[in-house]
Amino acid sequence: MGFTRTVGNVDPHPDNRDHSTIQAAVDWIHDNLDPVGDLTDFDNQGVNSGVQMVKVYAIAPDNIYPEQVHASAGFTNAGPNDYIHTTAMIDHTGVAGVGIKIYPEFDASTYCYVVGEYGHFEGFECSVNGTNNIGDSYAIYGIQNCKIYNNIVHDLTVTANSWCVGIHVTGNAVHSVYNNIVYNIFGYFRSYAIRVDGTSDTGDLIYNNTFSNIRCPGGGYGAAIRVDGDNVTFKNNYFDFAAGDGACYEITGANCTHDYNVTSDDAGEGEAHGIGNADPADQFVNPGTDFHLKVAVCIDAGTDLSGIFTDDIDGQTRTGTWDVGADEYSVPPAPPGEGWHGSATRIKILPRDFLSDNDSTPEKASLAGVTCGGTEDGLIASVPIPTGFKATAVRVYASDTRNVTVEEYDFSTSTGTQKGTGDTSAEIDITDVTSTATNLLHIKVQSINSATVHGGYVTIAKV
């Protein structure tokens, strides 16, 4: 069994981790293998061979490790069962600023982490402090046969005549890169979210990543993905090359396979199952900071890749038709005690949710729905909006066409504000209503006059 080393606050701090830096943990493993650096630990008869774990915990004051980590130099005889696995022990929840961060100062050639052969690197946030006007910047650099997953890379800027790359994998072997989010890559000479190279690649796998806001503002060239290697496969990714001389794809390698991708330019339209011209503002909760999906074309646009992995960047199991990008969209289950009924991206309005607005002519329920008898009487449904969501549209189904008014109602002040009108013949687009602690939707079907209301729905989206 391999070593396990912990990184974080060390003695005299009560956490008392083994090391205060990630590189120190890697170096300790290197020096304690026998022979030194031999991942098979041959002279020690394999006692310490296997997976060498580096577990990175909180560190005061803000969980930032200001270092460049090299987990490759000096190691030999790595293999499918003998490698270094570096993992963040605080969940970043799919957004920057929450988890474990590797933020080195820029240098002549800057990287956050170099993943060694067969190594695993997961769960970190990587960026580079400042603007690199000296040389290349690579946030994550992967050597052959490595796996890079569930990371967030953001805000790299290189103004020198050099490379600016979020994730770079190289070497003539298989790399697996999945469930990563890379955004705000600004290289004035060469700018890429991911670069995949190697003269005789045997088939890198680039799956379910989100690459957004890649720019080349200088006189150079860029792309969301650059493929120099042969036999590379990339599927279920979102690509956005936002500005400068370039495009979402730059592919020069032979025998490359790509499908089921969504792009901000028209590149996706050239794939059998791809989608093009998908603006990031329409796909994500916040295209500048939060790349969780909202109701958009990325949902159910992918293909099942469960032979490689089964979850998303948040650890949520991917089920049914897979989504494109690092996040698998989901609507939370109905909170206990609340009267809404979760269904995909909609809240169902059941017939029983409608009540008469006239005590003298109460609603009457049947298998077909609910009605009330007065000519001018109406039915009202009160629909809570789940926390973290907004209501964007309403549909009511009825036996005859009747007018519908939608209001945001605040029960702390007993006031309502009209958000949209229409009728039961079509969906009603309303002014967005974001959930608060004291609001809900009032949906009023007017002048029922013996018509039957069958039910309806409210369309919701993450905010």
Mean pLDDT, contiguous 10-residue spans, the chain (463 residues): 93 84 97 94 83 95 94 92 96 94 82 94 90 81 94 93 93 91 95 85 86 92 94 96 92 93 95 96 93 90 96 94 94 49 70 82 76 76 88 91 93 90 92 91 86 89 81
Tokens read off for 422: 């229409």
CB atoms closer than 10 angstroms to residue 119: 28
Burial (CB < 10 A; 0-12, 13-18, 19+), residue 190, is buried
Tokens read off for 187: 């290289």
**Pairwise CA distance, residues 353 & 394, whole Å:** 14
**Pairwise CA distance, residues 158 & 358, whole Å:** 68
**Pairwise CA distance, residues 87 & 120, whole Å:** 8
Closest CA to 371 of 311, 304, 447: 447
What pLDDT is recorded for position 161?
87
Closest CA to 461 of 324, 298, 314: 298
Which residue type sits at 343?
S
The secondary element (H helix, E strand) that includes residue 23 is helix 22-32
Q: What is the CATH number of domain 341-462?
A: 2.60.120
Q: Does residue 5 contact residue 29 with C-beta atoms inside 8 Å?
A: yes
Tokens read off for 78: 């790595």
What pLDDT is recorded for position 197?
87
Q: Give the Å distances, CA to CA, from 357 to 8, 73, 411, 422, 445.
A: 62, 75, 17, 19, 10
Q: Does residue 431 contact residue 420 with C-beta atoms inside 8 Å?
A: yes
What pLDDT is recorded for position 261?
98
For the chain, the straight-line distance linking the first and the last C-alpha, in angstroms and rounded, comes to: 46
What pLDDT is recorded for position 42?
79
What pLDDT is recorded for position 299?
93
**Pairwise CA distance, residues 157 & 383, whole Å:** 46
Question: Parallel, antiparallel, or unpaired for β 163-169 and 290-293?
Answer: unpaired
Under 8 Å CB-to-CB from 337, ≥6 apart: which residues? none
Name the residue ranges covered by the structural domains of the chain: 91-293, 341-462
**Pairwise CA distance, residues 236 & 63, whole Å:** 31
Q: Does residue 445 contact residue 379 with C-beta atoms inside 8 Å?
A: yes
Task: Read off the DSSP letter of residue 236.
Answer: S
